[in-house]
Amino acid sequence: LPIINEQLKDFKEDKNLVMYCTGGIRCEKASAYFKHQGFKNVFQLEGGIINYAKQIKEEGLESKFIGKNFVFDHRLGERITDDIVSQCHQCGKPCDNHTNCLNDGCHLLFIQCDECKAAMENCCSTECLEITHLPLAEQVKLRRGKQVGNKVFRKGKSENLKFKHSGELSDKPLAVAEKTKDIRQKIKVKKVLLGKAEHYYVKAQVGLFVIENQELNVGDSILISGPTTGNQELVLEKMFVNGTESSSAKVGDKVTFEVPFRVRLSDKLFKIIS
């Protein structure tokens, strides 16, 4: 932000400053910063690209945003259009799939195609690949006392990611994403709304839900759905009802159970009916 502030310091009175981000939260903070710095005309895309994509779909409008929208959950991306506007950082093939380096001492976020992912085993470099093959105790020993941020910065300049900073990309899409076959486009999932999310315990990976309709039982197939979370299906193997382990929950109960992905307050809980 300070860099942009310096670059536009002579245009604070007469230029429009327009911002957008994934869900609008970072733009809220950035717009406050720029207004504090003296910019008069500061605008932001309310709700970010997530809300924008939802609105244009509902109204049947053409998207001005092309490609994938980066999201901060396990998906790492939500496709808005079929255009691919980036390339694999390792081989240069048109690709827009993000990967976190498998090496716990690195976790560099970069773009990696399926072929490189298989060859490099989700790693950003041969150095990281070799480290992941070491015993866990040795990996921990290597990380001890080192600042991960410095390692990541150095790896970002690595020759292994030679296509990460390869100049300006074309203003036209590099490729078109393949259509995924989804049987659920033909066979709609029958489901009934059970309740809504109330909290997510990150460290424990446990979601808290309030039951507002019908009953929930251990063994049920459930669907957790939301604008950012997407549609995630699970089979309920164990749950706690009002703090006590139980096999069933009724309307008004608060239930907790393990969820291997982040749950948001906007998420709804459904029971899948076979």
The candidate with the shortest Cα–Cα distance to 124, out of 106, 141, 136, 137, is: 106
Quote the Cα angle for 148-153-156, to 5°. 125
Phi first, then psi: what are they for 60, rounded to 5°?
70, 35
Q: Whole-angstrom Cα distance, residue 133 to residue 138?
A: 10
Measured between alpha carbons, how far is 80 from 96 in angstroms, rounded to an integer?
Answer: 12
Bridge partners (DSSP) of residue 235 are 221
- Active-site position among 21, 106, 116, 124: 21
Sheet architecture: strand order including 254-258:
230-235, 221-226, 268-272, 191-201, 206-211, 254-258, 239-241, 244-246
Q: Is 27 among the catalytic positions?
A: no
Residues acting as catalytic residues: 21
